[in-house]
Amino acid sequence: MFNDLTSAASYIATRRSCRPRDMIAPGPDPAALRDIVANALRTPDHGKLAPWRAVHVKSSQRPLLSEKLQTAYLAEKTDAGRLELEAMDMFARHAPELLVILHSPRESSKIPAWEQELSTGAFCMNILHAAHVHEFVGGWITGWPAYSDAVRDFFGAAPERIAAFMYLGSPAKPPEERPRPRLDDILSEWDGG
């Protein structure tokens, strides 16, 4: 894809996250979705543990996901109002494609849990990069559903945790640039101290 360093730098500089509610069809077809996840497998993974996995929620399953999210939300927040339940419904229905990324820690005497969590985050970021290569946009969302054990149990079981609801599609409008940290606030030189 990249003929020179300028092309690669331009690619990185143009990747943007997109709000799932601002995504429209088309999304990745099954072959592109498989390729996106296959490319994400090239994630740093100390010990070759693959402490992550992706669950595709098909568009035909979104009404069921909406129902399950609302039921789980009401079980935890019995006084939830209409707007909160509508938010759960929309959460389930955003964007053409949805991947639920699970952090799946592995027992290891050598690889710390923290390194496995970092690998899961890198896997998520690689999905966003791979989607961009395929000329789609992505949005990495968490929120209440990501921290609910009941919701996690729709896709896996403890000790797994939901790392991301990864929405993929096409932008309804060009994604907006957001403020970025100042480079000099992030990059420093070690003084030997």
The CATH number assigned to the domain with range 18-58+95-174 reads: 3.40.109.10
- Check residue 7 and give its pLDDT: 76
Say if CB 152 and CB 160 are below 8 A apart: yes
166 residue type, one letter = M
Say what angle helices 82-93 and 62-76 make with each other, to 10 degrees: 140
Say if CB 171 and CB 21 are below 8 A apart: no
**pLDDT per position as a tens digit, 50-94:** 999 999 999 999 999 999 999 999 999 999 999 999 999 999 999
Half-sphere exposure of 171 (CA within 13 A, CB side): 17
Q: Please state whether 160 falls in left (phi above 0), alpha (psi between -120 and 50) or beta.
A: beta
- Distant-in-sequence, close-in-space partners of 146: CB < 8 Å, separation ≥ 6: 161, 162, 163, 164, 165
- Distant-in-sequence, close-in-space partners of 134: CB < 8 Å, separation ≥ 6: 28, 32, 35, 36
Question: Where does the pLDDT of residue 175 fall: very low under 50, low under 70, confident under 90, or very high at 90 and above?
Answer: confident
pLDDT at 2 over 70: no
Q: Tell me what the mean pLDDT of segment 99-122 comes to.
A: 95
- Check residue 184 and give its pLDDT: 95
CA dist 167 to 17, 23, 62, 94, 137, Å? 10, 8, 12, 7, 8
**pLDDT per position as a tens digit, 122-167:** 999 999 999 999 999 999 999 999 999 999 999 999 999 999 999 9
